[in-house]
Every structure is written in C-alpha cells, then in structure tokens.
Amino acid sequence: ILGYRAELLAAACSKPILILCYNISLARKLIAIINAKGLAERVSVMHFHDWCGLQLKTYFVDLVPGDAPHWEKQVTSVIQGVEAGHIPRAQYGAVLIDEGHDFEAEWLKLITQMIDPESDSLLLLYDDAQSIYNRRSGLGFSLSSVGIKAQGRTTILRLNYRNTREILAFAYQFAADVLGAADSDDDHIPLLLPESAGNHGPEPKVVRVSAWADELAYTVSALKAWHEQGMAWNEMAVLYANKFQGGALARVLKEACIPAYWLGTSEYKKSYDPLKDQVAIMAIHSSKGLEFPAVIVTGADALNADEQLEQSVRLLYVGMTRAQRYLQLTVSQETPLTLRWQSA
C-alpha cells in the first residue's frame, strides 16, 4: 500500500516525497521497493533518526548539549531547529510513515510540520499488535494532539494477506490473552483481531531439542531442506532473541556454506540488500515490517517471560507473523513462553 501510494504521489506532487520508519532493516526493504518502481529521484526513504541527522547536517544545526543518548539529542535538536526557524517546515509534498506504532508523540508532531499545507498529504500505517517498544496498548495520545487530521480519513484493513490461516491461527492462539481486541474512534488506534484472507499452508512446526547447539544444527538442516525444495536463500530468515545467538547462527551457516547476512549492527542493517540471494539472520526486533516465505525462530528461551511477559509475547507474535508460508520454531529449554507454543 505504501509503495503504490508513493508511486501515485510522486507523479502528482511538485515537492519530494518522504517515507519514514523506525526500523533500519525495514528502511532497507522499503528502499528496494521504491528503487524497483524507479522512484528514487522523487521519493526519499529513511530511518527516522537518520532523517533527523540529515536535517541537522543540511541546515548546519548543532547538536544540543547534555548527557542524553545521541539519538535523543538529534530529535531534540531538530525540534528546536524547526521552532527557531533554522530548519524549514513544509519541505515535502507528502509524508508516508510505516510502522507508525513505533513513533513517539513528539516525533509525529515534528513530522506533520514537514508536510506542505497545500497538499496536506500524510499516510500513517499502524498495527497495535506489533507495538513492542513500550508497554502501552495504542498510541497513548490522540492523533489530533500531534497535528494529524484523522477524523473521517481512517481506513481499517482487517484482512491479513501475509500469513496462511495456519500461521495466523497459531500466532494468535499463542498471544490472544495479551493482544485482546479493543475498538476505538478515528482519533485513536484500535487493536484488531486478526482475520485471514484464506490462504492455506503447512502447520507451523515446534521442534524440541536438548541444547542450543541442537537448535543451531536443526536450523542448518531446515534451511538446506527448503533450498533443496527450490526456495531461494533470500526467501528465508532466521530470527533470534538474544544478540549472542546471532553471532553463533552466522558462524554455523558460514561453516555449512549457506550464504547468509547477519544484521547484527546498525551499519550492517543499513547495508542489508533484501534482493541479494542470502539468508537473513536478524534479531526479532529487526524483523518488524518484513516478510519471508519461510522463517525459523530460535533461542526464544532467552527472553524474559517473568518481568516482561507482555512484551515478550508481543515480540514473538511479531516474529512468527513474519512467515508467509513456512514457520518453524526451535526450543531447547522449557519456559512459560515456550510452553505457550505447546498449548497453541
């Protein structure tokens, strides 16, 4: 939807189009989509904090002093720069925001000022079920409070076209008590029960093994099996819960002569090419907004289910629903989260 909307607006707007998201790896995927449509000269795709950094560099605005994290100071500096008139408003004919549930109120308030009032064109895509960076359900603020005119302009897309019925049913059964469902009005964001568009496929597979090393070995064998069935390497992804697991996965895939790319750092994420024929290895957090025909989720027992149960359940729900047709999950230690897989 975002890609086609950008294509339409690029032909109609005199000013450039901006696409923003929070996830770096998703930005790389969106760039590939825009480039494939031949829109790179008219449409800019950026990770939100990279966009803030570019604004500061372009308009020679200094970073505010203080002990806050660098990314936080970038945002504050841009906001202050706009308020002081050092950074111009209305730079873009349209702004499109993917994964809007990851954006803070002050970010959205800043972004809406970047839209040319003559076009007044904003697309905000949002899925409350994928809100994994905070504990709240919903935005926590009204859209009108950040300058978004949502009344009468909201469309709710209820059908899920990404996952098979089997994957969606399994993921929802796993997370149903956490996700729930809540209605809302145009000025707030509802949480929707997932509805499948009707595609069928294999049942998700939970593989119980005795140790993390066995999870690694099984992952290698599953990837090879899918490839032997005719699947391209870049149609597969391996998702993990803890950073140390990513390094181990990258090592064993290399030893097995499986072409793979580990999105282990910000720089690696920014260099990710989703069109290159290689297996994507990434943290579950980095998979938000992406999709692959086949997904393996490993190392879930490393997640903290005691203190952060809701966040961990939402995170695994996101990971499982990256799979379009084949979903496999490996388990080597029994935890409240992995027991949910068994009951689902």
Convert the pLDDT of each residue in 283-335 to its tens digit: 999 998 899 999 999 999 888 766 578 888 889 999 999 999 999 999 999 88
| Whole-number pLDDT of residue 135 | 46
- Average confidence (pLDDT) over 199-204: 94
CA proximity to 174, closest of 323, 7, 45, 3: 323
Residue 139 has pLDDT above 90, yes or no: no
Give the separation between CA 282 and CA 261, rounded to whole angstroms: 9
* Mean pLDDT lowest among 64-73, 121-130, 247-256: 121-130
How far apart are the C-alpha atoms of 151 and 130, rounded to whole Å? 23
Helix (H, G, I), strand (E, B) or coil at 285: helix
The label of the residue with tokens 């920014």 reads 270
- Cβ density class 53-68: b for 16+ within 10 Å, e for less: bebbeeeebeebeeee
**Max Cα–Cα distance, the chain, nearest Å:** 62
Q: Which residues are within 8 A (CB) of 170 and not within 5 positions of it... i.e. 6 or more apart?
A: 203, 204, 320, 327, 344
- Give the CA angle between residues 207, 135, 284 to the nearest 5°: 35
| Alpha carbon of residue 260 to chain centroid | 20
- Per-residue pLDDT at 189 exceeds 60: no
pLDDT band at 279 (very low <50, low <70, confident <90, very high): very high
- pLDDT value of position 314: 87
Q: Are 294 and 50 in contact (CB under 8 A)?
A: no
- Bridge partner list, 182: 191
Instruction: Report how far residue 123's alpha carbon sits from residue 331's, in angstroms, rounded to the nearest whole number.
Output: 39
The mean-pLDDT minimum among 110-119, 185-194, 210-219 falls in: 185-194
